[in-house]
Chain A
Amino acid sequence: MIRIMLQKLLHKKWMVISLLIGNILLIAVAVSHPMYKEASLQRMLTDEFTTYLEDTNESPAMFAITGRIRKNDGTADYQRVYNLAQTIYQELGLTETLRVRQDSLVASTVVSLMERENANKEKKAVIGSLENLEEHATVVTGRMYSDKRAEDGVIEAVVTMNGFVELDVLPDETLEFVYLKDAAGNKIRVKIVGVITNSSSADDYWVNPPETFDNQLLISPTLFEEVFVNGGKRFEYNSEWYLFFDYSKITTAQIAGLQEKTLALLEGNSSTYGKLAEPAYLSLLNEYLSKEKKIDVTLSILQVPVLVLLCAFLFMISRQMMEMEQSEISLLKSRGAGKGQIFRLYLMQSTFLAVISTLIGIPLGSFICRALGSANAFLEFVQRRPLDITYSKNVFLYALIAVLVSILMTVLPAMKQSGISIVRQKQSRARAKKPLWQKLYLDIVLLGVSIYGYYNFTDQQDELQEAVIAGEALDPLLFLTSSLFILGASLVALRILPLLVKLVYQIGKKRWKPAGYASFLEIIRTGSRQYFIMAFLMLTVALGIFNTTVARTILENAEQNLAYTTGADLRIQEVWPSNELQVRMNPGTPLVYTEPDYGKYSLIEDVNAMAKVFVSDSTKTGISMRQKNADGKTANYWYGATIYGIDTKDFGEATSLPDGLLEEHYYTYLNALAQNPNGVLVSSVMRDVHGYKIGDTITFDNSEHAQKDGVDIKAEIVGFVEYFPGFSPTATFLNPDGTAQTLNQYLIISSLNLIQKYWGVTPYQIWFDVEDTTAFYEFIAENEIELEMCVDVEAEVIKIKNDTIFQGTSGILTMSFIVILILCSAGYLIYWVLSIRSRELLFGIFRAMGMSRGEILRMLVNEQIFSSLLSILCGAGIGVAASQLFVPMIQLAYSAADQVLPMTLLTRQSDMVRLFGIIAVVLVVCLFVLARQVFKMKIAQALKLGED
């Protein structure tokens, strides 16, 4: 049987190659899902810990455990946390990196035994110890303590610099505790032998920095244990453990368990005398888990269409293979092979191919995964920190599922065929029957459902947005709906296209040349056999267009939005020297700033333009208006507003606005402002909601200057702007009840002169139009300029691009697109080559009847035009329609609350050129192959085929 199978495979090498391609891609795409997900989640997890560390300067990977022993309490609790400190790593499955133990008695009164001024002055001190102190501390003066108690019972201690000052002690001074006695009844005496400080400022050991030990006498842990813990007398003391672990070793698989166990430990260790503090990583884990779900859903949804397409491809090829092998099957049957045997033969063949594919598919999957990890935008890859790819058991599970699906897809047609006898085979060639989906109107149903879904989602845009702001993933139904739309529309087109062909055929029925006539009849009469390749082409093109649009739209809208909300390529604000300290000490002194040199920036390379922009804090500045309240009475109302003070010319040069956002050209507004020194531009909400007109006077103020006279600025409105660089006309918040609320934002743009005239020269931002920021940052570093604020659009864009969701989306859509192109090319070629082979006898007859090779080729070209080309055009139409309908909603899921600019659908011409260019190449190659086949064909041989 194996021999038969191998022979069969060798015979159909093209078909086998196609099946292999399909299988390999299916397995690769399937395994790339868990691989990519796990690797990118791992990267995200590590990034989250690192970012936390960078932002707060505290390690999130730390446990703080406290145990207290008091006169009558705490023994049991203390013992519990003591044990916890020893076993917590094992319990949670973490790797310890650093352990800090700090013990301290409660504060007690001491007097000095040294003869010095104020020697008898009582003060409180604490006896404490830090494990491994000598490894992390440097002795500033004196020496380290001894581990032994001196003969006279004195215990040696060191103090930190702060302790030295606060305790007011001297080297070699001995302190005596007034109330603290050891087991023998002697007062405890401690001698200061040295002053220490931390060896390194970046040492996790100093969770409590040396400064905090301002009343502690640090003694040897050995002595602490000997005298105060096991000394035979009960002392009151506290123990603290700070346990650090290696967060880079946490795997994503551990997270859920880690979170659960940590919560359980917190629950069980929350008493006063034995407590585990909530570790900072817990919130990171929560955040991670919510993101994980979102990423998982998003990645899965995005991959589904291409997986379905792959299955369809496998099904199509194996059905075609089966059709070609019908006579072989019949032959096998007539020689006595049973249904089961034939079925087993195909099962074996599928399994064989699937196993080979797995061997190639899994490494290919890991390659795809690496490529996904370096996806920067659609069809764009960059060098980036590579993903750490692991072969988890999920990878093999997915591979196994893919293999099973692939076997199912390739064996399914065999199930049908193995029941066919020679008689039935001939009958099946009779008039083409309507396919099941057409009889059931499945196409109309699918399209109907998707359009219903579309209207439903359109109605629920608010809810969608709320879900997004709340951090939920893209609604899988939304994506499913768009896929259903593409499928439904393709099937409807498949119902309509043959009618169209029939119409063309009928129009010229009498006049068609033999070639055209035969090709029309071929398309019309054997149409259903071509449905699959037609549907496949439509889906391919439609999905290709849809994917490119989704990918481009999501990323580029995010980028444009970022560029707009930032306002300029680069925004900075220097730290301005001021008399702030003086003001604090002598309230009433006016705050005066010293303006840093502004001109210096113009020297920097790559800076095209720059502008001073005063930007106020909208909680401190606002507009006063007299308005009628609900009772109909007029009252003063104050609306928080952002105020820009700009130099119109510079501002116009340093910023830009996308076309079409404003009613007139952006510069028209700036010019209007420039011409009226007392004029302001205001956000259009002032006109639309509050009824202001051009020429009206508006009053705005700044609470920082409330005490000063003349702080209210009265200005004349010279224009209304809906959008302005850096300004969001609305802000969307999530109410505590989960509903989203959109509030209008107010903006006033005035000249910088006007602002400075009233409010003085206060810190302003500088907005830059820069080509490349490298030189700028070098300049900042060289001149040691201190920046209060620095927003760099480029850096922010990179952040977006590195975001797992964005990156995964770009990557998967790119991968899908490439897979689609491969499938489309392979599917199309194989379909036509096979279709010609299966028709060789027919062509022989045509040739015998006197048709030339050219005519046969013309016939095939005609068939291509009316089935393939039309399908491609339909697919393009469906793709565009699907994009128009669904991309805006899908984009919502990515843009979140801060999408300010109206969304625009984006496609890049280059993507389309790629898509259609490749399709064109495939068509041409296909024609070439067809022509070669036709010209190679020998009539006599073709006819002989019929004799067997």
Chain B
Amino acid sequence: MIETKNIDRFFPVAGREPFQALKDISIVIPDRSLTMLRGKSGSGKTTLLNILGALDAPSGGQVIFDGQDITKLSDKQREKLRREKIGFIFQSVSLIPMMTVYENVEFSLRLSDYKGDRKKRVEECLHLVGLGKRMQHMPQELSGGEQQRVAIARAIAHRPQVIFADEPTAELDTATSLSVMKMFQDLVQAQGITIVMTTHDTGLMDAGDIVYQLEDGALIDVEKRKAFAENEGKEE
């Protein structure tokens, strides 16, 4: 479970007051959920995602990841956390251009120092996203949807707890977007992975278990599926 407590994020602006990108955000991301951060461009959703994924640190507040406040971690510890427990998927080409599809996925295994049979795992993940036959292709030779699927395979290969996806469907057509969302849902259900993604696309929101709505850096609305709403109720 990831929980944020009163996060603020200021960006310095030359010659002016700092710009506040996030205002007092407190959210909870339960395990095995597909959580969406929704908002218009500039609403702060990517900033929030970066903070959740230990890419950026908040100016104030806490981020509790598995019971640990990750804002207190050193660079090294954060890198280790990212390598081992987190996977990333980005909006556009986030594949490494000089590596083949196979190598891209394998690279995340190398990074996380995966102990098992790397070849088997890579193939498994690529089959899972339906690209078992295109392993030796270069990323540039794939379509946008295919590239994003490779990114998913890469993100899950080292069996992370959480995958952060920044606008993973922004550059895809509707059909492909839906298939990516379907894949996310399957991952959450079948593999037990937690996925946090940002989107500005209202059409995709049905797929999310929890949807946080942001505007101008502030949380303005939360929608939860029944199951998660109940869980929360129990805890409280």
**Contacts A525-B98, A939-B56 hold; do A518 and B107 have CB atoms under 8 A apart?**
yes
B88 at the interface (CB under 8 A from A): yes
Inter-chain contact A946/B93, CB cutoff 8 Å: yes
Inter-chain contact B88/A429, CB cutoff 8 Å: no
User: Residues of B contacting A940 with CB < 8 Å?
Assistant: 47, 50, 55-56
Instruction: Looking at the assembled complex, report how far the CB atom of A860 sits from the nearest CB atom of chain B, in whole angstroms.
Output: 14
CA distance A847 to B78 in the complex (A): 11
CA distance A427 to B140 in the complex (A): 7
Chain A residue with minimal CB distance to B140?
A430
Inter-chain contact A946/B90, CB cutoff 8 Å: yes
Instruction: Looking at the assembled complex, report how far the CB atom of A429 sits from the nearest CB atom of chain B, in whole angstroms.
Output: 5
Contact among A429, A514, A946, A947 for B111, CB-based, below 8 A = A514
Inter-chain contact B138/A430, CB cutoff 8 Å: yes
Q: Which residues of chain A (815-850) have a CB below 8 Å from chain B?
A: 842, 845-850
A943 at the interface (CB under 8 A from B): yes
Inter-chain contact B55/A939, CB cutoff 8 Å: yes
Inter-chain contact B55/A430, CB cutoff 8 Å: no
**Contacts A849-B88, A850-B112 hold; do A431 and B138 have CB atoms under 8 A apart?**
yes
**Contacts A852-B76, A852-B79, A943-B90 hold; do A429 and B107 have CB atoms under 8 A apart?**
no
CA distance A875 to B168 in the complex (A): 47
Instruction: Looking at the assembled complex, report how far the CB atom of B39 sits from the nearest CB atom of chain A, in whole angstroms.
Output: 14
Q: Which one of A514, A842, A849 has the highest number of Cβ atoms from chain B below 10 Å of its Cβ?
A: A849
Instruction: Looking at the assembled complex, report how far the CB atom of A425 sits from the nearest CB atom of chain B, in whole angstroms.
Output: 10
CA distance A911 to B140 in the complex (A): 47
**Contacts A430-B141, A848-B53 hold; do A946 and B91 have CB atoms under 8 A apart?**
yes
User: Residues of A contacting B111 with CB < 8 Å?
Assistant: 514, 849-851
A211 at the interface (CB under 8 A from B): no
Inter-chain contact A842/B91, CB cutoff 8 Å: no
B18 at the interface (CB under 8 A from A): no
A426 at the interface (CB under 8 A from B): yes
**Contacts A940-B55, A940-B56 hold; do A850 and B94 have CB atoms under 8 A apart?**
no
Inter-chain contact A517/B55, CB cutoff 8 Å: no
B130 at the interface (CB under 8 A from A): no
Instruction: Looking at the assembled complex, report how far the CB atom of B201 sits from the nearest CB atom of chain A, in whole angstroms.
Output: 15
Inter-chain contact A851/B79, CB cutoff 8 Å: yes
**Contacts A430-B140, A939-B56 hold; do A845 and B96 have CB atoms under 8 A apart?**
yes
Inter-chain contact B82/A429, CB cutoff 8 Å: no
Inter-chain contact B82/A849, CB cutoff 8 Å: yes
Instruction: Looking at the assembled complex, report how far the CB atom of A938 sits from the nearest CB atom of chain B, in whole angstroms.
Output: 8
Chain B residue with minimal CB distance to A845?
B94
Instruction: Looking at the assembled complex, report how far the CB atom of B108 sits from the nearest CB atom of chain A, in whole angstroms.
Output: 6
B103 at the interface (CB under 8 A from A): yes
Q: Which one of B80, B97, B108, B141 has the highest number of Cβ atoms from chain A below 10 Å of its Cβ?
A: B97
Q: Which one of A427, A850, A946 has the highest number of Cβ atoms from chain B below 10 Å of its Cβ?
A: A850
A788 at the interface (CB under 8 A from B): no
Q: Which one of A430, A848, A851 has the highest number of Cβ atoms from chain B below 10 Å of its Cβ?
A: A848
Instruction: Looking at the assembled complex, report how far the CB atom of A925 sits from the nearest CB atom of chain B, in whole angstroms.
Output: 26
CA distance A521 to B99 in the complex (A): 7
Chain B residue with minimal CB distance to A510?
B118
Contact among A842, A853, A946, A947 for B96, CB-based, below 8 A = A842
Q: Which one of A512, A517, A518, A845 has the highest number of Cβ atoms from chain B below 10 Å of its Cβ?
A: A845
A522 at the interface (CB under 8 A from B): yes
B8 at the interface (CB under 8 A from A): no
User: Residues of B contacting A845 with CB < 8 Å?
Assistant: 88, 90, 94, 96
Majority secondary structure of chain A interface residues (helix, strand, loop or mixed): helix
A624 at the interface (CB under 8 A from B): no
Contact among A426, A518, A947 for B91, CB-based, below 8 A = A947
**Contacts A849-B88, A940-B55 hold; do A946 and B79 have CB atoms under 8 A apart?**
no
Chain B residue with minimal CB distance to A842?
B96
User: Residues of A contacting B53 with CB < 8 Å?
Assistant: 848
Mark A226-239 against chain B: 1 for CB-CB distance below 8 A, else 0.
Answer: 00000000000000
CA distance A514 to B47 in the complex (A): 28
A526 at the interface (CB under 8 A from B): yes
Mark A927-941 against chain B: 1 for CB-CB distance below 8 A, else 0.
Answer: 000000000000110
Inter-chain contact B50/A850, CB cutoff 8 Å: no
Mark A509-535 against chain B: 1 for CB-CB distance below 8 A, else 0.
Answer: 000111001100110111000000000
CA distance A431 to B100 in the complex (A): 10
User: Residues of B contacting A849 with CB < 8 Å?
Assistant: 82-83, 88, 107-108, 111
Contact among B46, B93, B107, B140 for A514, CB-based, below 8 A = B107
Q: Which residues of chain A (897-948) have a CB below 8 Å from chain B?
A: 939-940, 943-944, 946-947
Instruction: Looking at the assembled complex, report how far the CB atom of A849 sits from the nearest CB atom of chain B, in whole angstroms.
Output: 6
Instruction: Looking at the assembled complex, report how far the CB atom of B164 sits from the nearest CB atom of chain A, in whole angstroms.
Output: 9
Inter-chain contact A850/B80, CB cutoff 8 Å: yes
Q: Which residues of chain B (60-111) have a CB below 8 Å from chain A?
A: 75-76, 79-84, 86, 88, 90-94, 96-99, 103, 107-108, 110-111
User: Residues of B contacting A853 with CB < 8 Å?
Assistant: 75
Instruction: Looking at the assembled complex, report how far the CB atom of B228 sits from the nearest CB atom of chain A, in whole angstroms.
Output: 27
Inter-chain contact A943/B138, CB cutoff 8 Å: no
User: Residues of A contacting B166 with CB < 8 Å?
Assistant: 943, 947
CA distance A849 to B86 in the complex (A): 8
Inter-chain contact B96/A526, CB cutoff 8 Å: no
Inter-chain contact A429/B97, CB cutoff 8 Å: yes
User: Residues of B contacting A427 with CB < 8 Å?
Assistant: 140
User: Residues of A contacting B55 with CB < 8 Å?
Assistant: 847-848, 939-940, 943
Instruction: Looking at the assembled complex, report how far the CB atom of A839 sits from the nearest CB atom of chain B, in whole angstroms.
Output: 9
Inter-chain contact B140/A426, CB cutoff 8 Å: yes
User: Residues of A contacting B108 with CB < 8 Å?
Assistant: 849
User: Residues of A contacting B76 with CB < 8 Å?
Assistant: 852
CA distance A525 to B140 in the complex (A): 13
Inter-chain contact B140/A429, CB cutoff 8 Å: yes
Inter-chain contact A848/B107, CB cutoff 8 Å: no
Chain A residue with minimal CB distance to B103?
A521
CA distance A17 to B39 in the complex (A): 43
User: Residues of B contacting A429 with CB < 8 Å?
Assistant: 97, 140
Instruction: Looking at the assembled complex, report how far the CB atom of A331 sits from the nearest CB atom of chain B, in whole angstroms.
Output: 15
Instruction: Looking at the assembled complex, report how far the CB atom of B232 sits from the nearest CB atom of chain A, in whole angstroms.
Output: 30
Instruction: Looking at the assembled complex, report how far the CB atom of A347 sits from the nearest CB atom of chain B, in whole angstroms.
Output: 31
**Contacts A430-B140, A939-B55, A940-B56 hold; do A850 and B92 have CB atoms under 8 A apart?**
no
Inter-chain contact A946/B92, CB cutoff 8 Å: yes
Instruction: Looking at the assembled complex, report how far the CB atom of B54 sits from the nearest CB atom of chain A, in whole angstroms.
Output: 9
CA distance A852 to B111 in the complex (A): 10
Chain B residue with minimal CB distance to A944?
B46
CA distance A524 to B76 in the complex (A): 30
Chain B residue with minimal CB distance to A512?
B110
Mark A312-350 against chain B: 1 for CB-CB distance below 8 A, else 0.
Answer: 000000000000000000000000000000000000000
Inter-chain contact B82/A848, CB cutoff 8 Å: yes
User: Residues of A contacting B112 with CB < 8 Å?
Assistant: 850
Instruction: Looking at the assembled complex, report how far the CB atom of B119 sits from the nearest CB atom of chain A, in whole angstroms.
Output: 10
CA distance A525 to B99 in the complex (A): 8
Instruction: Looking at the assembled complex, report how far the CB atom of B123 sits from the nearest CB atom of chain A, in whole angstroms.
Output: 16
Inter-chain contact A947/B107, CB cutoff 8 Å: no
Chain B residue with minimal CB distance to A520?
B98
Inter-chain contact B110/A522, CB cutoff 8 Å: no
Instruction: Looking at the assembled complex, report how far the CB atom of B6 sits from the nearest CB atom of chain A, in whole angstroms.
Output: 20
Q: Which residues of chain B (29-58) have a CB below 8 Å from chain A?
A: 46-47, 50, 53, 55-56
CA distance A851 to B97 in the complex (A): 17
Chain A residue with minimal CB distance to B41?
A947
Chain A residue with minimal CB distance to B109?
A514
Instruction: Looking at the assembled complex, report how far the CB atom of B234 sits from the nearest CB atom of chain A, in whole angstroms.
Output: 35
Instruction: Looking at the assembled complex, report how far the CB atom of B156 sits from the nearest CB atom of chain A, in whole angstroms.
Output: 13
User: Residues of B contacting A522 with CB < 8 Å?
Assistant: 98
Ordered nearest first, which 4 A-B pairs have the shortest CB separation?
A850-B83, A850-B82, A525-B98, A430-B140
What are 5 A-B residue pairs whose CB atoms fall within 8 Å in the complex? A849-B111, A939-B55, A943-B90, A947-B91, A947-B166
Which residues of chain A have a CB within 8 Å of any CB of chain B?
426-427, 429-431, 512-514, 517-518, 521-522, 524-526, 842, 845-853, 939-940, 943-944, 946-947
Given contacts A431-B141, A847-B55, A852-B75, 13 further A-B contacts (CB under 8 A): A431-B140, A517-B107, A525-B98, A525-B99, A842-B96, A845-B90, A845-B94, A850-B80, A850-B86, A851-B83, A940-B56, A943-B166, A946-B94
